[in-house]
Amino acid sequence: MSAIIETQAGTPLHVRQAKRKKQFYILLTAFFVAVQIIWVGIPIFMAVMWSLVDPANPWSFPDILPQSFSFEPWKFVFRYTNIVRALRTSYTVAPLAVLLSFVLSLPTAYVLGRKRVPGRKFFMLIVLLPIIMPGMVVALFLSRVFAGIGLSQTFFGLVLAHTLMGMPYMVRVLTTSFASIPQDVIDAAENLGAGTWVKIREIFLPMIRPGLLAGMIFAFVTSIEEFNLTFVIGTPTYETIPTILFSFMGYNFIRTNASVVALIMMAPNIVMLFIVERFLKSDYLAASLGKM
């Protein structure tokens, strides 16, 4: 049967099917990319446009695009705000907070994901509290705890604060990753005589990698965006980017300058994202043992 088809079409059926399937996926990818460029691109394009509005020649109805462009909003932000200092603070605190939350979360996530400890459900709720707490409670009460320990106005305090706010994501995502490691893989490794360290390095770490990447991105973004707590315990000694962003987005909503700060805030993140993705070559998904 297959021989007949082979002679008819010149290529085996399954090869043609695979080829068609591949073409279908390429088309689908192209479609998604096009949709994403509109979906994400247009709002960002708007931000860029707003950041280039000439104060002397405002952008108003019925203009679809600004009539003239200028770098005034950019100059304004660099001249009158502490944006450079804030950038430096934000981008030194964030990696440290990510690292610390990873280190602190790992054992907890392991136990919550793989051990049936009494009170597990309760602990799973507790770890969510930092993000459930309303911003006002964070600003008014949580900040007092930091001040009470003497962490207010210190760099370490800032790192701890950002760690705390990012932990819920890290712990819960890692817990799910740990929980989804098949027991037979671990058993097999143990049967082969793998020690704790080998298990961690050869099984746990590779298998939680997708979750870890997600958790790290979330912790990083949380740190970059954290405002309520940072403002109370950090300023005036330390200022982070959201402080400057909010100064343009609060009572006086200055869309031009706010767009500048937002773009300054986003740019390093997006560049970093592309580097990380390139570095991991999108194989981080396939790398997990689930695809073996």
Partner 1 sequence: MKKILAVFVVGLLTVGMLFAAGSREPQVQAPSLDLQSASWNEIVDAAKAEGQVIFYAWYFPDYFREAAEDFEAEYGIRVNLVIGDQTANFNKVIAEQNRAVGTVDAMVVGGQWVKTTLDLGLFYGPLQNIIPDAEHLAPALWEMQEGVLTNGYLTPLHRNQTGILYDPQRVSNPPQTFTELEAWIDANPRQFGFNDPSRGGSGQSFVHTVIHHVAGGLEQYVGDEEVDPAKVANWNLVWDWFNQRKDKLTFTVSNNDSIVRINDGEMAMTFGWDDNVQDMINRGNIFSRARMYIPEMGAAGGGDTMGILHNAPNPAAAALFIHHLTTVEQQRKKFEMVGAYPARIDIEMEGTLLSEEDRANNALAWFPAPYKDLMISDFVRNVLMQQ
Partner 2 sequence: MRNKDASLINYLMLVPGVGFILLFIGSSIFLTFAQSFGLFSITGRSEFTLDNWVQVFLARESLDSIRFSLKMGVMSSVGTLLFAFPLALFFRKGGAGKGMLGSLVKIPLFIPALVAAFLIVNLLSFHGLVNTFLLRLNIIKEPMRMLNDRFGWGVIFIQIWKNLPFVLLIVMASIASIRDDTVDAARNLGAGYLSILFRIYIPLAMPGILVSMILMFIKAFGDFPIFSVAGPIYPSSVAVRMHVMATLYQEWDQAAVLGIIIIFTTFFVIWAYSRFAGLVQRED
Q: Give the tokens for residue 211.
A: 């979750």
Q: How far is the CB of 88 from partner 2 (least distance, A)?
A: 18
The nearer residue to partner 2, 79 or 121, going by C-beta atoms, is 121
- Choosing from 7, 43, 61, 184, the residue that interacts with partner 1 (CB under 8 A) is 61
Site pattern 176..215 for partner 1 (x: CB under 8 A)? ----------------------------------------
193 binds, among partner 1, partner 2, none (CB under 5 to 8 A by kind): none
The nearer residue to partner 1, 126 or 270, going by C-beta atoms, is 126
Site pattern 209..248 for partner 1 (x: CB under 8 A)? ------------------xx--xx--xxx-x---xx-xx-
210 binds, among partner 1, partner 2, none (CB under 5 to 8 A by kind): partner 2
Q: Near partner 1 by CB under 8 A, which window of 27-35, 78-86, 98-106, 263-271?
A: 78-86
The C-alpha atoms of residue 78 and residue 11 are separated, in whole angstroms, by 64
The nearer residue to partner 1, 117 or 276, going by C-beta atoms, is 117
- Choosing from 12, 58, 182, 195, the residue that interacts with partner 1 (CB under 8 A) is 58
Q: Per CB under 8 A, which of residues 26..55 are in contact with partner 1?
A: 53-55
The nearer residue to partner 2, 155 or 206, going by C-beta atoms, is 206
Site for partner 1 contains 119 (CB under 8 A) = yes
Q: How far is the CB of 253 from partner 1 (least distance, A)?
A: 4
H or E, element range at 184: helix 183-191
Site for partner 1 contains 86 (CB under 8 A) = no
The C-alpha atoms of residue 10 and residue 260 are separated, in whole angstroms, by 59
The C-alpha atoms of residue 53 and residue 250 are separated, in whole angstroms, by 20
Give the binding-site size for partner 1 (rule: CB under 8 A): 53
Q: How far is the CB of 225 from partner 2 (least distance, A)?
A: 5
The nearer residue to partner 2, 158 or 164, going by C-beta atoms, is 164
Number of neighbouring beta carbons within 10 Å of residue 132? 9
Q: How far is the CB of 231 from partner 2 (least distance, A)?
A: 14
Instruction: Convert 194-251 into a string of H (helix), E (strand) and C (coil).
Output: CCHHHHHHHHHHHHCHHHHHHHHHHHHHHHHHCCHHHHHHHCCCCCCHHHHHHHHHCC
The C-alpha atoms of residue 81 and residue 244 are separated, in whole angstroms, by 7
Asked if 97 and 159 touch (Cβ cutoff 8 Å), the reply is yes
Find tokens 């037979």 and name the residue.
Answer: 184
Site for partner 1 contains 252 (CB under 8 A) = yes
For 214-252, letters b (16+ CB in 10 Å) and e give: bbbbbbbebbbbbbbbbbbbbeeebbbbbbbbebbbeee
Q: How far is the CB of 130 from partner 1 (least distance, A)?
A: 13
Q: Read off φ and ψ for residue 182, nearest 5 degrees.
A: -65, 135
The C-alpha atoms of residue 111 and residue 104 are separated, in whole angstroms, by 12
